[in-house]
Chain A
Amino acid sequence: MTAPYEQQAPIWQGGQPLGSYVSPIPVRRATLGDAVASEWTKIRSVRSTMWTLGVMVVLMVGVGVLVAWGVSLSEAALGADSALPLGFFGVLLGSICVITLGVLTIASEYGTGMIRTTLTACPSRGRVLAAKSIVFFLLVLTITTVTAALVGAIQVAMLDGRAATGQEWVRATLGVGLFMALLGLLSLAVGSLIRHSAGAITLMIGVVLLPLVMAMFMFSSSLVDVQEALFEYSIPSQISVLYDVSMTGSGPNGWDPVFIAAAATAAVMGFAFFALNRRDV
């Protein structure tokens, strides 16, 4: 088996084939699957992955157990409420870790210069970004879904409240996992556009926290509509929607947060693909 390149090699002045060396290593076209394997090797072989995801699991489980313990000590029982929504606080904290990992997955390549080595080994830049996105999305989806289920099970076992329905369980586990993974993917796209770890992480934390903080201080009555929109569509309140404890009566409900996150991520990811293909690295 020889390189197809060898056969179609153009001839230059001397009439010699271009480069006479033929490698004994069999040549085959690299595919997206190869790129996914490579990105999996990359993401599992750096410590930041273990640290950010480890901290996220510890935060989600730790905060979930603490909240459940606090509720169990208090006088007021849950009564007709389910224990599931208590997982919200851990997820909110854990989202910071997911954002950090999402940004680092691509921005660290720019920070170290590794991106040049990567793109020399794979000139198809879209394939590299797609492989990174797939590996990161599946990793975060799996870990957050499993952790959210674990936290929900612990809280339900510690407190007696209304038994949650199957729908509620799916949204509080797979729904939360999807939303977190999409938030991380959005961070990855932002990291690819900004190409600087600290800048992209700061921007994403601002995106998570700023709308809520701004809405809190909009006292003017003429801004009431804006205030309401910021409250309803801020990321913390969208997470709460997945737990069926919306801050306001109107706004997104059910699976809407996941669809909104998917649309926003797709748009920014589109820009990221476009920019990566066009820019110098």
Chain B
Amino acid sequence: MIEAVGLTKRYGAKTAVYNLSFQVRPGTVTGFLGPNGSGKSTTMRMILGLDQPTAGHVTVGGHPFRELPNAPRQVGALLDAKAVHGGRSARNHLLSLAQLSGIPAARVDEVLGVVGLQEVARRRSSGFSLGMGQRLGIAAALLGDPQVLLFDEPVNGLDPEGILWVRNLMKQLASEGRTVFVSSHLMSEMAVTAEHLIVIGRGQLLSDMSVRDFISHNSADFARVRPADTDPGAREKLVAALGEAGGQVLSERDGALRVTGLPLPRISDLAHESDVRLWELSPHQASLEEAYMRLTQNAVDYRSTADQLAGFAPPPQPGYGGQLYEPPVVPEVPTQGWYAPPPPGENPYASDGPPPAQAPAQAPAQAPVAPPVPPLKAAATAPAPVTAGPAPASAADLVKHVSDEKPDRTAKPDESDAKTETTEDAR
């Protein structure tokens, strides 16, 4: 078991990890998630005694790592696949580590077989691909057959076969009663590998719970409801009925409604009672990725923006019909409002998130729906207030606002939506 208590690490003025407390238990694969620069690797280095915490402490099996008896036989780690001397062969690299730990040399050939590197064992590791380097790093972690295993981004650069192998390896190691602590950015991989999640953002703990709880706590589950277009007024009638029943309703671009807080059969009943025909009533299950994005949206330090190429565009041609190409303006916080707000108290950044982007020049006259939401975004996608937990009564008002704005929205060029998608992909 790994136990961190009040772990804090400062590098000069920058606080990499702040007051982090968690436990990693044996018998399960524990995922360690967080945006770039959130302090995952720093935490792993502190667990391994490579960095000294500024405050707090972390123990492995009750001892600080550097005081463990037989540390390499109890803890194995893959920190950085490229942390090998490139001029040394894979076998000699592992042999030197085995000798250092007092492990029989025969074990070296065993782990080379486990990771599938026997063929290249005597080649210099500088010629290895990223995936082969990862396999060598995993071999080094397995060398001591330890009870506690730490892997920092183990599937980076692996081929699909390798990813599947790592997934099964992690599960198998955990099922043998070992403690397995894995960091990764591949959410789909984490969802099928890990049972427990520890999520950090900007060096602080955001969440420490099982994967299932994590998804349901940060869930973006909703039902998509599409009333029949042929029936004017049906939409408003349905929104009112759903709002009364306690559902939260958000409007989608193409006229469908996003309903949260009501089970599907209840929505169907309500539609039937208010005499509204439905063309679509579909469940939308949240994935781990969505839940993660929603939790960490305010804790992301490095966010990509669209490449504007401003200043390189040719000057407007006279007589081009007056239509000037305007470079797309991307709001500073594109995902703000895309996901439903986190439950109160769950997200320490909910109150002090980055300030809302300035209104883009393209939409100067637009009245903001809710103050913290960038207007462009509010118009392009379904709006959601940033302040936590809207009351059911206000949900109806919200939808009303959006429908009022509908003409304004449709008047705008379609590119605004495409822009948003690009930004999200890039991230």
User: For B51, what are the chain A residues with a Cβ–Cβ distance below 8 Å?
Assistant: 280-281
- Choose from B45, B52, B66, B82 the contact partner of A123 (Cβ within 8 Å): B66
Is the pair A46, B85 in contact by a Cβ cutoff of 8 Å?
A: yes
User: For A19, what are the chain B residues with a Cβ–Cβ distance below 8 Å?
Assistant: 1, 26, 61, 147-148, 177-179
Most buried by A among B67, B69, B107: B69
- Choose from A29, A41, A114, A281 the contact partner of B99 (Cβ within 8 Å): A41
- Choose from A12, A29, A119, A128 the contact partner of B70 (Cβ within 8 Å): A29
- Chain B residues within CB distance 8 Å of chain A: 1, 25-27, 45, 48-52, 61-62, 65-75, 77, 79-80, 82-89, 92, 95-104, 107, 140, 143-148, 176-179
User: For B101, what are the chain A residues with a Cβ–Cβ distance below 8 Å?
Assistant: 30, 34, 121-122
User: For B97, what are the chain A residues with a Cβ–Cβ distance below 8 Å?
Assistant: 38, 117-118, 121
User: For A10, what are the chain B residues with a Cβ–Cβ distance below 8 Å?
Assistant: 61-62
The answer to the question of A221 belonging to the interface, with a C-beta cut-off of 8 Å to chain B, is no
- Choose from A3, A18, A41, A113 the contact partner of B96 (Cβ within 8 Å): A41
Q: Give the residue name and chain of the B residue nearest to A281 (CB).
A: B50
Q: Give the residue name and chain of the A residue nearest to B137 (CB).
A: A117
Give the contact stretch, choosing among A20-28, A89-97, A245-253: A20-28
The answer to the question of A79 belonging to the interface, with a C-beta cut-off of 8 Å to chain B, is no
- What is the distance, in angstroms, from B50's C-beta to the closest C-beta of chain A? 5
Q: A28 to B67: give the CA distance in the assembly, Å.
A: 16
Is the pair A45, B96 in contact by a Cβ cutoff of 8 Å?
A: yes
Is the pair A109, B85 in contact by a Cβ cutoff of 8 Å?
A: yes
Contacts A12-B1, A34-B100; A117 near B84 (Cβ below 8 A): yes
The answer to the question of A31 belonging to the interface, with a C-beta cut-off of 8 Å to chain B, is yes
Q: A157 to B180: give the CA distance in the assembly, Å.
A: 68
User: For A9, what are the chain B residues with a Cβ–Cβ distance below 8 Å?
Assistant: 61-62
Contact with B along A1-24 (1 / 0, CB 8 A): 001110001101000001111011
Q: A229 to B71: give the CA distance in the assembly, Å.
A: 50
Q: Give the residue name and chain of the A residue nearest to B11 (CB).
A: A280
- Choose from A37, A109, A113, A121 the contact partner of B72 (Cβ within 8 Å): A121
Contacts A46-B85, A46-B88, A117-B79; A3 near B73 (Cβ below 8 A): yes
Q: A119 to B104: give the CA distance in the assembly, Å.
A: 19
Question: How many residues of A are in contact with the other chain, CB < 8 A?
Answer: 47
Is the pair B80, A18 in contact by a Cβ cutoff of 8 Å?
A: no
Q: A10 to B45: give the CA distance in the assembly, Å.
A: 23
Contact with B along A41-60 (1 / 0, CB 8 A): 11001111000000000000
Q: A147 to B61: give the CA distance in the assembly, Å.
A: 52
Give the dominant DSSP class at B's interface.
loop
Is the pair A113, B82 in contact by a Cβ cutoff of 8 Å?
A: yes
Q: A251 to B64: give the CA distance in the assembly, Å.
A: 52
Q: A37 to B52: give the CA distance in the assembly, Å.
A: 28
- Listed A/B pairs (14) with beta-carbon separation below 8 Å: A10-B62, A12-B1, A12-B25, A25-B144, A29-B70, A41-B92, A45-B87, A45-B92, A46-B87, A108-B85, A112-B85, A112-B86, A113-B84, A280-B52
User: For B107, what are the chain A residues with a Cβ–Cβ distance below 8 Å?
Assistant: 25
The answer to the question of A120 belonging to the interface, with a C-beta cut-off of 8 Å to chain B, is yes
Is the pair B88, A35 in contact by a Cβ cutoff of 8 Å?
A: no
Q: Give the residue name and chain of the A residue nearest to B81 (CB).
A: A113
Q: A10 to B179: give the CA distance in the assembly, Å.
A: 15
Contact with B along A172-203 (1 / 0, CB 8 A): 00000000000000000000000000000000
Q: A121 to B179: give the CA distance in the assembly, Å.
A: 18
- What is the distance, in angstroms, from A242's C-beta to the closest C-beta of chain B? 34
Q: Give the residue name and chain of the B residue nearest to A108 (CB).
A: B85
Q: A121 to B107: give the CA distance in the assembly, Å.
A: 15
Q: Give the residue name and chain of the A residue nearest to B106 (CB).
A: A25
- Choose from A29, A35, A114, A278 the contact partner of B69 (Cβ within 8 Å): A29
User: For A48, what are the chain B residues with a Cβ–Cβ distance below 8 Å?
Assistant: 87
